Structure 1
Amino acid sequence: MLERQETEVFLTLAEELHFGRTADRLRCSPGRVSQVVKCLERRIGAQLFLRTSRRVTLSAIGAQLRDDLLPAHRQIQLAYRRAVVAARGIAGPLRVGYSTPWVADAVLRAGAVLSARHPKCTVEAQETQFADPYGPLRSGELDVQISEFPVREADLTAGPVLFTEPRALMVPAQHPLARQDTVCQEDLARAPLITFAAEFPSYWLECHLPTHTPGGQPIARGRAVRYWAEVLSHVAAGHGVAPVAARAEAYHARPGIAFVPFRDAPTIDYGLLWPTDRATPAVQALVTVLCETVTAERSPGSARIGQAHPGV
């Protein structure tokens, strides 16, 4: 049976592959790390790490042990964190992911309200990337996320929609579409569509980056990108077009790009997400405050703060 210290030393060294860095992370000496590893290897009866004067690597048995241990270790850590959160109530930092700066503004405003109600609770905003849209939420790096819907994932709860934005098409300034007052979905067949270098669910891609127009015309695929800034550069360079929130122009007007509103496309809806098994009291409190804040800003006589940024 592995002891807690053995598990922590082994998994940290398996990640760092360096005795000094492992010791720094665990706040002990490299000698202690070496001692724990040697003891573990004797008990198992095989080398877990292959050492030379220049590098440390995992043996085949070490790699197998790492792969078998990691899920259980993460589950134990998650159980501990959930117990701590339950004991504290609505307290501690809440990490919220966002895909657009104007959503981040709303998160930070709601965070100020939440902290006023619950002084032990703070909110931190973190931008999500196309490359791994739900990974940080699943790994525990984020507690809540506001993303473009639809989201239909078995392990994620899709909460209320916070923002509904009309669509526009971001096109190269010299493209014929840039001279139109509006575009329709059939116009998507007239230029390559910038895509994402990520494994988005097929239902999400069909909503935001379809392969065919409603009339059945094929839509060519353009460059695949990992970050939003790349979309702007490729559109300006004439490599393709991209559907965005209509108010994107307020944030990203620049030479080489035009924004043309759709006259027939569905809206882009931004909603709340959180892991189904981590719906803590603090998460639920933040969801409530976000809904209240957004609703209040939409009410008559209340100015809506900020402009929309493109969703996709």
Structure 2
Amino acid sequence: MELRDIEIFLTLAEELHFGRTAERLHLSQARVSQSIKQQERRIGGALFERTSRSVQLTPLGARLRDRLDAGYREIMAGIDEATAITRGQVGTLTLGTMATDHHQIAAVLDLFRQRHPQCELRIREILPSDPFTALRAGRVDVGLVWLPVDEPDLAVGPNLHTEPLVLAVAPDHPLAGRDRVEMEDLGDYPVVWPDGPIPDYMWEVHTPSVTPAGRPIRRGLAVATLEEALTAISAGTVVSPIGSHAAATRVRRDVTFLPITDGPVLQYSLVWRAAAETTLVRAFVQAAADA
């Protein structure tokens, strides 16, 4: 018995009407009738009792329906699952973001989850000092990092959000009493430096090596994480620009955040391994573009 014939039989067993069955399956009524007759000949018994006014299952037909129904649903579920996998709708996608930046792209996450409810979306933290290692190692499928990204093995997607920088200083630091600071002020104090493989050209956008007037900005303590940076800053030995979104989630008594009037504004985009682009990655990038 062909799968289509099983579908015709089960639909007719539910509808008990040849016309409605044909309409539901987008078939001719003659095709439905022919299929049922072929099944009855193959089985050797009537599956339906037909009169001019009604169609009813015979005891044999009812028993066959009960046996076929569960198997047919399981087969169709398997086909649906396989189709979903080939379309990138099933599986796991891991997004790497710095600190809590995933909150800034909530619309993207919501749209992706709505379109691909069978996909598990995981979020992992990546360090500003090391934005690409987890991506290249396959622990992260897509990363959300600030631009520029000029890496030959990485693809760059749409710009998703921006983040102004604020200056983090200790409460007793000479700058702490100011309402705001300028990038030129960084020429007077050492800044934290990343202890990690972030490319110099990326860090230059975050913390320039010279002030707008050309004065060198001195390197201070090297740190690997934001918490390490804030701990060093609280000791008063260094200052550092910090993303305003990250600063808003780390209100603490031992660090003061000051607006930078002419500070950098970071542009964040998705990045992924070009050679390892999957249907799920493409689906997430498409959701980002649409959202």
TM-score interval w.r.t. the shorter chain? 0.5 to 0.7
**Percent identity between the two aligned chains:** 36
Could you say which residue in structure 2 is the equivalent of 1:272? Answer: 270
Contact 2:88 2:283 in 1 (8 A): no
Secondary structure of 2:157's counterpart equals strand
Shift of 1:205: 2.2
Following the alignment from structure 1 to structure 2, what is the Cα–Cα distance between the partners of residues 261 and 217? 21
Contact 2:182 2:262 in 1 (8 A): yes
Shift of 1:207: 1.4
Secondary structure of 1:268's counterpart equals strand
Residue 102 (structure 2) pairs with residue 100 (structure 1): no
Following the alignment from structure 1 to structure 2, what is the Cα–Cα distance between the partners of residues 255 and 181? 17
Shift of 1:112: 4.4
Shift of 1:213: 1.1
Contact 1:196 1:224 in 2 (8 A): yes
Aligned in 2, Cα 1:111/1:246: closer, same or farther, shift over 3 Å? closer
Residue 208 (structure 2) pairs with residue 220 (structure 1): no
Secondary structure of 1:204's counterpart equals helix
Could you say which residue in structure 1 is the equivalent of 2:151? Answer: 153
Shift of 1:130: 4.1
Following the alignment from structure 2 to structure 1, what is the Cα–Cα distance between the partners of residues 286 and 86? 21
Contact 1:108 1:124 in 2 (8 A): no
Deviation per residue, 1:222-246 (Å, 9 max, x gap): 1111111111111111121111123
Deviation per residue, 1:113-143 (Å, 9 max, x gap): 3233223322100001245320111121111
Shift of 1:171: 1.0
Equivalent position amino acid for 2:172 in 1: Q
Secondary structure of 2:124's counterpart equals strand
Question: Which residue, out of 165, 178, 181, partners 2:179?
Answer: 181
Contact 2:211 2:217 in 1 (8 A): yes
Shift of 1:212: 1.4
Following the alignment from structure 1 to structure 2, what is the Cα–Cα distance between the partners of residues 100 and 291? 22
Following the alignment from structure 2 to structure 1, what is the Cα–Cα distance between the partners of residues 142 and 217? 34
Q: How does 1:1-312 map to 2 (within 5 A)?
A: 87=86, 89-101=88-100, 103-106=101-104, 110-130=108-128, 132-293=130-291
Secondary structure of 1:133's counterpart equals coil
Contact 2:169 2:256 in 1 (8 A): yes
Deviation per residue, 1:14-58 (Å, 9 max, x gap): xxxxxxxxxxxxxxxxxxxxxxxxxxxxxxxxxxxxxxxxxxxxx
Equivalent position amino acid for 2:168 in 1: M
Aligned in 2, Cα 1:164/1:109: closer, same or farther, shift over 3 Å? closer
Shift of 1:172: 1.2
Equivalent position amino acid for 1:200 in 2: I
Following the alignment from structure 1 to structure 2, what is the Cα–Cα distance between the partners of residues 226 and 247? 19
Aligned in 2, Cα 1:225/1:180: closer, same or farther, shift over 3 Å? same
Shift of 1:150: 1.3
Could you say which residue in structure 1 is the equivalent of 2:6? Answer: none
Following the alignment from structure 1 to structure 2, what is the Cα–Cα distance between the partners of residues 224 and 133? 16
Could you say which residue in structure 1 is the equivalent of 2:42? Answer: none
Q: TM-score, normalised by structure 1?
A: 0.62
Aligned in 2, Cα 1:232/1:197: closer, same or farther, shift over 3 Å? same
Shift of 1:88: 5.5
Shift of 1:272: 0.7
The runs of 5 or more residues in structure 1 that have no matched partner are 1-84, 294-312
Following the alignment from structure 1 to structure 2, what is the Cα–Cα distance between the partners of residues 143 and 100? 17
Equivalent position amino acid for 1:91 in 2: V
Following the alignment from structure 2 to structure 1, what is the Cα–Cα distance between the partners of residues 290 and 172? 43
Following the alignment from structure 1 to structure 2, what is the Cα–Cα distance between the partners of residues 146 and 247? 14
Equivalent position amino acid for 2:214 in 1: G
Secondary structure of 1:186's counterpart equals helix
Could you say which residue in structure 1 is the equivalent of 2:34? Answer: none
Deviation per residue, 1:134-179 (Å, 9 max, x gap): 0111121111000121111010012111111222111111112111
Following the alignment from structure 2 to structure 1, what is the Cα–Cα distance between the partners of residues 144 and 120? 17
The runs of 5 or more residues in structure 2 that have no matched partner are 1-83
Following the alignment from structure 1 to structure 2, what is the Cα–Cα distance between the partners of residues 107 and 248? 14
Shift of 1:284: 1.6
Following the alignment from structure 2 to structure 1, what is the Cα–Cα distance between the partners of residues 240 and 112? 36
Contact 2:105 2:160 in 1 (8 A): no
Contact 1:150 1:204 in 2 (8 A): yes
Could you say which residue in structure 1 is the equivalent of 2:45? Answer: none
